[in-house]
């Protein structure tokens, strides 16, 4: 077993690092006499379909038996109210400066007690789909929240006979307990009007309170799994990865890193007009071994936006559950969903693993290239970063724009350009861990590093066709990169219509300003959160070199 759920009596006590106040409070809730175990996907489906407010559409689940469902199962729709996105402002990570563990342990105890007169469900799933990295996760959630539980089981891997055998033979992760998540979406507290998500990453547990959105439960689970991966020799990746199976037995493994709306799912699943034989690992969550650069997917399913999928789109046949979409009747009186974000922004759906025709759970081949997806108007469609320090620090200063997937606190500008290191807002460990792991991949594992600008270049949209064309040229080895002006560690592949004019003083000033913004961000890590995310000196030095070279252009 990879993580631990059962202990000899001599192992149980304060001397065991697996136990903590919050973890013990959360796990204890799972054993109450008001808790019912849900042990199969079929059972979870029936509970969700009967849950008050569920819309049982007339659209059938595609190949339900292959998913673990009964024939005739339907796509289920369940909607929240005001909130239809993640709430980063509600997260409290135990171990970070300024977070009082005793205070939140008290709130967690009271929240658990508050469910005493509720019926609760206990569901189990597997996160990490190969023996090399796999952990067991538990969810406890009240009655009437069956749709969250069902989607959670679909999103991760419900435990069946084959999965149980895989997990039994998995690599043991020392001093790692199972993941335990307690949720009460109806909880409220005057100190936490946006809800509260208490995460205890070292002890692999979380308490999600006052938040109905399924994405909180998905990302809360991944947050803990990524923390485990970080402690056990893996780079934790919020992104997509695909393998191009080329002629002559060659292959090209590409990892793309970006937040929702950056194009990572589009790039990961792009068929390139059928020009390539493509295998997909995943489009949102995986880990890369820092020893051999192999990769393991964390989830079988996909949690995708429905904004770009009209009702008649063929891809909709792979839907399993839907969140925050409308419904109406078609010409035959059948209940069908209303997508395209007509009801609200960030309509979502859990899609079946069958959406990707060629899908695997592990790439044994080392990753060839990583691509930081940014929306920085001073960057051309693609640049190549040759220095390991610069390659990693540009990932640490990944620039993007906010999307409707995030619920913002009052006063936050939704249009502001923001930095999100490695496109992973769910990190619970020091940023330096990621910096050093990605630096190692470039410096020691021969991984190439690129930036793809998927936004606008100086007010000109970089279209998906341009981005995919650049990617194809890199995969085929036809992209001719050359030194970019004065920059020693940056090369450019010039794309017609998007060639930067380094003689344009105004452009250079903007480029320099954006790089200085990155410097300021890295410098701010020295003091932000008490220096929790401080980076090694070489990170800032790499950016200083770029700024100095820009001034000489």
Burial 161-190 (b: 16+ CB within 10 A, else e): eebeebbeebeebeebbbbbbbbbbebeee
Contact 248, 476 (CB under 8 A): no
Contact 306, 349 (CB under 8 A): yes
Task: Please tell me what DSSP assigns to residue 187.
Answer: -
Residue 384: in which H helix or E strand, if any? Answer: strand 382-385
Q: Give phi and psi for 29, each to the nearest 5.
A: -60, -25
Closest CA to 97 of 418, 536, 534, 550: 534
Instruction: Output the pLDDT for position 552.
Output: 83
CA dihedral (65, 77, 317, 263) positive or negative: negative
CA dihedral (418, 423, 426, 428) positive or negative: negative
**How many angstroms separate the Cα of 398 from the Cα of each of 85, 252, 257, 524?**
21, 24, 9, 15
- Residue 40 exposure: Cα atoms within 13 Å on the Cβ side: 8
Instruction: Output the pLDDT for position 413.
Output: 62
CA distance 75 to 354: 15
Instruction: Output the pLDDT for position 399.
Output: 86
Distance of CA 491 to the CA centre of its chain: 29
CA distance 145 to 253: 39
Closest CA to 79 of 49, 106, 54: 54
Task: Please tell me what DSSP assigns to residue 177.
Answer: B
* Residue 513, helix vs strand vs coil: helix
CA distance 423 to 335: 37
Closest CA to 27 of 159, 153, 181, 158: 181
Tokens at residue 223, please? 């947050």
How, if at all, do strands 120-130 and 35-38 pair? Answer: parallel
Q: Give phi and psi for 293, each to the nearest 5.
A: 65, 15
pLDDT tens string, the chain, 553 residues long: the values are 799 999 999 999 999 999 999 999 999 999 999 999 999 999 999 999 999 999 999 999 999 999 999 999 999 999 999 999 999 999 999 999 999 999 999 999 999 999 999 999 999 999 999 999 999 999 999 999 999 999 999 999 999 999 999 999 999 999 999 999 999 999 999 999 999 999 999 999 999 999 999 999 999 999 999 999 999 999 999 999 999 999 999 999 999 998 877 889 899 999 999 999 999 999 999 999 999 999 999 999 999 999 999 999 999 999 999 999 999 999 999 999 999 999 999 999 999 999 998 999 999 999 999 999 999 999 999 999 999 999 999 999 998 765 556 676 777 666 556 899 999 999 999 999 999 999 999 999 999 999 999 999 999 999 999 999 999 999 999 999 999 999 999 999 999 999 999 999 999 999 999 999 999 999 999 999 999 999 999 999 999 999 999 988 7
CA distance 27 to 178: 10
Instruction: Output the pLDDT for position 404.
Output: 58
Residue 103: in which H helix or E strand, if any? Answer: helix 101-113
Instruction: Output the pLDDT for position 403.
Output: 58
Burial 477-510 (b: 16+ CB within 10 A, else e): eebebeebeebebbbbbbbeebebeeeeeeebee
Strand partners, 448: 369
Tokens at residue 41, please? 């996907």
Tokens at residue 140, please? 């406890």
> What are the E-state strand segments in 170-276?
179-184, 196-200, 205-209, 234-245, 251-257
What pTM was computed for the model?
0.94
CA distance 533 to 535: 6
CA distance 336 to 190: 39
Burial 58-78 (b: 16+ CB within 10 A, else e): ebebbebeebbbeeebbbbbb
Residue 281: in which H helix or E strand, if any? Answer: strand 277-282
**How many angstroms separate the Cα of 248 from the Cα of each of 136, 242, 357, 369, 475?**
39, 18, 22, 20, 14
């Amino acid at each position: 077993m990879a993580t631990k759920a059962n202990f000899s009596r001599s192992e149980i006590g304060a001397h065991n690092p697996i136990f903590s106040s919050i973890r013990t409070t959360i796990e204890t809730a799972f054993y109450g006499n008001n808790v019912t175990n849900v042990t199969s996907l079929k059972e979870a489906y029936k509970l969700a379909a009967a849950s008050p407010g569920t819309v049982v559409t007339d659209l059938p689940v595609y190949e339900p038996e292959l998913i673990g469902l009964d024939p005739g199962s339907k796509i289920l729709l369940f909607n929240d109210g005001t909130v239809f996105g993640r709430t980063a402002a509600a997260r409290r990570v135990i171990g970070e400066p300024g977070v009082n563990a005793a205070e939140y342990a008290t709130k967690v105890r009271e929240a658990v007690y508050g469910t005493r007169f509720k019926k609760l469900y206990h569901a189990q799933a597997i996160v990490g789909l190969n023996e090399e990295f796999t952990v067991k996760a538990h969810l406890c959630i009240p009655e009437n929240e069956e749709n969250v539980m069902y989607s959670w089981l679909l999103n991760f891997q419900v435990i069946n006979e084959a999965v149980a055998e895989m997990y039994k033979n998995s690599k043991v992760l020392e001093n790692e307990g199972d993941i335990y998540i307690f949720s009460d979406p109806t909880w409220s507290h005057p100190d936490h009007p946006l809800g509260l998500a208490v995460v205890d990453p070292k002890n692999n547990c979380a308490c999600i309170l006052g938040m109905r959105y399924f994405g909180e439960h998905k990302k809360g689970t991944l947050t803990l799994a990524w923390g485990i991966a970080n402690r056990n020799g893996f780079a934790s990746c919020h992104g997509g990865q695909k393998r191009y199976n080329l002629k002559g037995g060659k292959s090209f493994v590409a990892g793309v890193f970006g937040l929702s709306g950056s194009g990572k799912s589009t790039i990961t699943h792009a068929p390139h007009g059928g020009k390539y034989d493509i295998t997909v690992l995943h489009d949102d969550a995986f880990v890369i071994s820092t020893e051999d650069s192999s990769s393991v997917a964390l989830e079988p399913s996909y949690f995708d936006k429905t904004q770009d999928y009209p009702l008649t789109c063929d891809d909709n046949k792979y839907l399993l559950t839907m969140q925050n979409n409308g419904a109406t009747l078609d010409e035959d009186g059948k209940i069908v969903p209303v997508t395209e974000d007509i009801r609200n922004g960030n309509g979502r759906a859990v899609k079946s693993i069958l959406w990707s025709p060629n899908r695997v759970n592990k790439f044994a081949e080392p990753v060839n290239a990583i691509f930081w997806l940014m929306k920085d108007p001073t960057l051309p469609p693609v640049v190549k970063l040759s220095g390991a320090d610069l390659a990693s620090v540009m990932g640490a200063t990944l620039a993007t724009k906010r999307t409707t997937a995030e619920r913002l606190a009052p006063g936050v500008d939704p249009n502001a350009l923001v930095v999100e290191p490695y496109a992973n807002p769910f990190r619970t460990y020091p940023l330096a861990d990621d910096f050093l792991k990605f630096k190692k991949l470039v410096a020691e594992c021969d991984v190439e590093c690129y930036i793809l600008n998927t936004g606008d270049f100086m007010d000109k949209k970089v279209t998906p066709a341009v981005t995919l064309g650049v990617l194809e040229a890199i995969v085929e080895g036809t992209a001719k990169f050359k030194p970019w002006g004065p920059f020693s560690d940056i090369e450019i592949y010039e794309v017609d219509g998007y060639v930067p004019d380094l003689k344009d003083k105004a452009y250079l000033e903007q480029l320099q300003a954006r790089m200085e913004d990155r410097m300021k961000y890295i410098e701010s890590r020295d003091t932000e959160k008490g220096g929790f995310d401080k980076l090694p000196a070489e990170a800032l030095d790499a950016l200083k070199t770029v700024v100095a070279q820009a001034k000489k252009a």
